[in-house]
Structure 1
Amino acid sequence: MAREPIAWTSRRRLLHRVRTAAWPVSLVVCFGALGLIWALPGMRRRSERKAARCTICRRHRGRARLFIGGFVILQALGAATAAYTAAAPPLLCHAHVYPDGRVESEPRLQDVSPPRTWGIARDIANASTTGLALLASKTAGMRECDGPPLTVTFWQPPRVSGGGSTVGDIFVAWMPAGEEGSSFLRGAQGFGLAAEGRGLLATEGQQYVRYGPNISSTRGNEMELARHESRHTDQWAIMTLIGGPLAFPAAYYADGAFFPFSRNHFERAASLSDGGYTAPPDNLPAPLPGAAAAVGVVLLLVLRRRIRWFSRILAAGRTGAIAHQPGRCPLHTTGWFHHPEQHRFASGEAPRGGPGLSFRDGAGP
């Protein structure tokens, strides 16, 4: 009986060590290299001090941990899906499927895949995003085929894919075509496998079914589109390494709000001509009102507390910077430009309703 408390203490110590080691890894998974900033010992101690003094900081800290934990689990699920797909790749895109069940592959597109070392590195960096995109595509009822340079998901017949978006290492051909026959190549008759018995399938007297989305009209155009989307995959990988899986879509949308379509800097970096874009007459901003307003609203929501805190600094200087309400840090103290008991909080005198707390030791915003 005397050894039970020791065993319990050992378990707690082990769990503490595991949490301590897992926290930096979780931050990197969620926020890339930038996550290492929050993993620094000084940042961690600062967060603990603020949580001990501010009820809202403590609440936000708990919610952040739940979000990060859930996000890590989601990323692990995506990475496992990507690994499973890599171990059992689907049928090659644009394979010729004949009525008798024969499958013949077209010559692989040349000069569209990255160098082997970088290709492996970006596959690893994008693994979680790729797997989640593949799961979402399958849930929506899409089929997949193997590139190169990317895995492609596309609608089953009779729906026709006319374009799409790169998500990690997956090209999701979700856009509908302008007309049913617009994406057929000469000699191709429809989509899908001949054995599926649905949609536009090869029958006796027809040549073959060209399996895949068949977005491009020529092999040369396919090569250009493959290079364009491969560069987007590079962008996904680099941004993921820097800021996590959500960094690229956030940056792409924010840029597209002010530089839309062919003005988008990510599209220009991936080659407008290869992507089928018409080059704009200039690269000046041409904001989309709705998207730009959405970006502005998000920024205001994220920064509203710091803007409020800064308003008190403008009104009262250093006194406004350290003034706070009971149980709150200066950042989460309510009131714009001033509040009724600001002078009492700044002096450390206990305000009505509770003791005063000082954030002069650097635990403020």
Structure 2
Amino acid sequence: MASDRVAVPSRTESPGWVEVVLRVLGTGLLGLWWSRPSAMRYRRRRRSECAGCAHRYHRVMRVLIVLVWLQMVGIVALLAYGARPPTCQPPSLSSYNGATRYVTPTHDWVIPVRQVITAGNSGLALAYGKALGGQFCDYVPNGTLLGRMKDGFARGGTTYGHTYLTSLEPQLVYSDMAPVMRHESRHTDQWALFTLLGGPVAFPLAYGVDDVFAPGPYNNFERDAGLADGGYVLPDTPSPTTTRLIVAGALFAIFFFERHRVRRQVRLAKLLVHRLRIAEPPWWYAHTEPVTPGPAIGVVRRVSPAVADAMTEHRRLQQLGCPDCGAIGY
């Protein structure tokens, strides 16, 4: 019995080990899970049977190549600019004990491990800071690359990997600097953990999503790093997280249950845009009846005839059927 599967023309694919390397470097331990032999065999079989699966595979590979390439650029920048940075010096007003602690390194195995894990993102931030004229030094108590800049960072400062970008002033003594750097060191731990689990973009994505629903001092990553150490004012108002989650859930539900109508309107809009680009009558004129403009379109025509014509075309497009809940019948 002949097989009813449709053969999909195969592109030249990378060897299996290349895919494993890209997935691990691009998505961390999650990529290692995706690189299980059974999972790779399943995806290879799907690509041979499904053209869409093959296209998605190549898109994913291109994204992973870009991610890994950026990490390599960051590592090169880190080796070029931050391999042997000068040690951050304490301000002149520091006490003897404060100045000593300012330049005394901490012997903790966690510091070099997280520096290796976050090397790519740290190097990209270092190159970015150098491009903006930043001055960098090594804050040896926690192994953070401290970059002082005029601007180009968020809030009082921003940590990328183990690179901390902040302002030129003020120069803080150790007793004032220690809480801030302790806060940023915890952010470095978060960068390292998420990079190890999900790749170099895992932490910024997680932080961004969390900040949408829990902004500022309500952000769970900031709370984990210590609000007081980071200079945040402790909030005394209810968190907006619940309200935002309810709104997001309602929008998702509307989109999910009305996705067929949304898809149909998007297709109609694409047809309308295509209609405006061509001179000859479109194909749907043979399947629809002319539309008599209503009063609203007449009012719009006085202001913009082009918009009125587009509204008329859209009303005519509405006559097309929707036999499979969203697809336009031809």
| Band of TM-score, shorter chain | 0.5 to 0.7
Deviation of 1:156 after TM superposition, in Å, equals: 5.4
CA contact (8 A) 2:91 2:173 kept: no
Structure 1 residue 41 and structure 2 residue 37: aligned? Answer: yes
Q: 2:121 aligns with which of 112, 125, 129?
A: 129
Structure 1 residue 76 and structure 2 residue 87: aligned? Answer: no
How far, CA to CA, are the matches of 1:263 and 1:40 in structure 2?
38
TM-score relative to the length of structure 1: 0.57
1:23-62 equivalences in 2 (<5 Å): 23-62=19-58
CA contact (8 A) 1:259 1:285 kept: yes
1:112-151 equivalences in 2 (<5 Å): 116-148=108-140, 149=142, 150-151=144-145
Distance 1:173 1:287, change over 3 A: farther
Deviation of 1:288 after TM superposition, in Å, equals: 9.3
User: Residue 184 of structure 1 aligns with which residue?
Assistant: none
CA contact (8 A) 1:262 1:268 kept: yes
TM-score relative to the length of structure 2: 0.63
Q: 1:270 aligns with which of 202, 219, 225?
A: 225
Distance 1:121 1:282, change over 3 A: farther
Structure with the largest fraction of helix: 2
Identity %: 29
* Backbone CA RMSD of aligned residues: 4.0
* CA displacement, residues 140-163 of structure 1 (integer Å, 9 cap, x when unaligned): 222212213311112259x99982
Structure 1 residue 154 and structure 2 residue 148: aligned? Answer: yes
How far, CA to CA, are the matches of 1:257 and 1:238 in structure 2?
21
* CA displacement, residues 251-278 of structure 1 (integer Å, 9 cap, x when unaligned): 1111111111111111111111111111
Structure 1 residue 258 and structure 2 residue 213: aligned? Answer: yes
Deviation of 1:336 after TM superposition, in Å, equals: 6.3
Deviation of 1:80 after TM superposition, in Å, equals: 2.4
How far, CA to CA, are the matches of 2:196 and 2:22 in structure 1?
13
How far, CA to CA, are the matches of 1:335 and 1:164 in structure 2?
55
User: Residue 223 of structure 1 aligns with which residue?
Assistant: 178
Segments of 5+ residues of structure 1 without an aligned counterpart are 1-14, 97-104, 175-212, 309-333, 342-365
Deviation of 1:137 after TM superposition, in Å, equals: 1.3
CA contact (8 A) 1:152 1:171 kept: yes
CA contact (8 A) 2:117 2:192 kept: yes
**2:206 alignment partner AA:** A
Deviates more, 1:226-235 or 1:73-82: 73-82
Distance 1:274 1:265, change over 3 A: same
How far, CA to CA, are the matches of 2:250 and 2:61 in structure 1?
27
1:182-331 equivalences in 2 (<5 Å): 213-215=168-170, 217-281=172-236, 284-286=239-241
